[in-house]
Structure 1
Amino acid sequence: MAYVVWTAVALVVALGLVLAAGASRLRTLSRRVGSFPCHARPADDPQAAWMVGIAHYAVGRIDWWRGWSLAPRPARVWLRDGLSITGRAPLDQAGQPDQVLVRCRYDGTDFELLMSSGAYAGLASWLESAPPGRRDLVL
């Protein structure tokens, strides 16, 4: 009987530690300077579920982290040289105020990002401020 109780206690403690680690990671990522909430999905399937995440500007790239994950590395990394915005649509009329659907291409792969209008303005500015010779990044 004691074995069952200790096993249950160990499972509850392990679950609590995993949840605490995930919440701490999410809080740390969202508080970094240059971070913003950003959902992602493949562009070829508009019915696909959005992957909740946090994007973070780094030197010459954007790191995208899954919202609930314990991975120590970003799930996606988009270098400025290979990333372009191919379209955007404000979602105010769809009942989502201050949200922008951003269509992107990175190294020939199309995907969509969902972010606030302020985050989109920052992304567009970041791409437009690329070194000379890279003026084709924003539509």
Structure 2
Amino acid sequence: MPYVVWVAIALLVVLALVLAAGASRLRTLSRRVGSFPCQARPAGDPHAPWVVGIAHYAVGRIDWWRCWSLAPRPARVWERGRLVVTGRAPLDQAGQSDQVLVRCRYDDKDFELMMSSGAYAGLASWLESAPPGRRDLVV
């Protein structure tokens, strides 16, 4: 067989392996206990694109993973003591009334999260269950 055919076969095998690794990573992240779908974007620009991700409660922090990535580490980590919810608003996007827009601040950086109302209830409970003296984290 010509050299070009072998290169094409090798590229297809590599592509299949990358897709399988990505699908396995996404499945593993979404099936963890304490994980929930959560989209993120910088605050202040309503036209900024949402980045689809999966958030996961860890000990004293939330790890946020991009869905379409092969990174072995979370894209963002928010420690409970430094994360503040500054506002929330229900969304009605294409008939999905269960979505909530959550405005947050972390180390003087504002950003927005979009999640289900159930996920927001969990986030608010998690923040409010902080150690004594740190109950001002949710508006």
2:70 corresponds to: 70
Is 1:4 the counterpart of 2:4? The answer is yes
Once residues 13 and 2 of structure 1 are traced to their aligned partners in structure 2, the CA distance between those partners, rounded to angstroms, is 17
Cα distance, 1:93 vs structure 2: 6.9
Distance 1:9 1:76, change over 3 A: same
> Does the residue aligned with 1:51 lie in a helix, a strand or coil?
coil
C-alpha spacing 1:77/1:93, structure 2 compared with 1 (3 Å): closer
Query: What TM-score, normalized by structure 1, do the two folds share?
Result: 0.97
1:1-139 maps to which residues of 2 (within 5 A)?
Answer: 2-92=2-92, 95-139=95-139
State the number of aligned residues: 139
RMSD between aligned alpha carbons? 1.1
The AA in structure 1 aligned to 2:67 is G
Q: TM-score, normalised by structure 2?
A: 0.97
Partners of 1:44 and 1:89 lie apart in 2 by 15
Moved over 2 A (4+): 92-96
Unaligned runs of 5+ in 1: none
5+ long unaligned stretches in structure 2: none
* Counterpart Cα distance in 2 of 1:113 and 1:103: 6
Identical pairs, percent = 84
More strand by share: 2
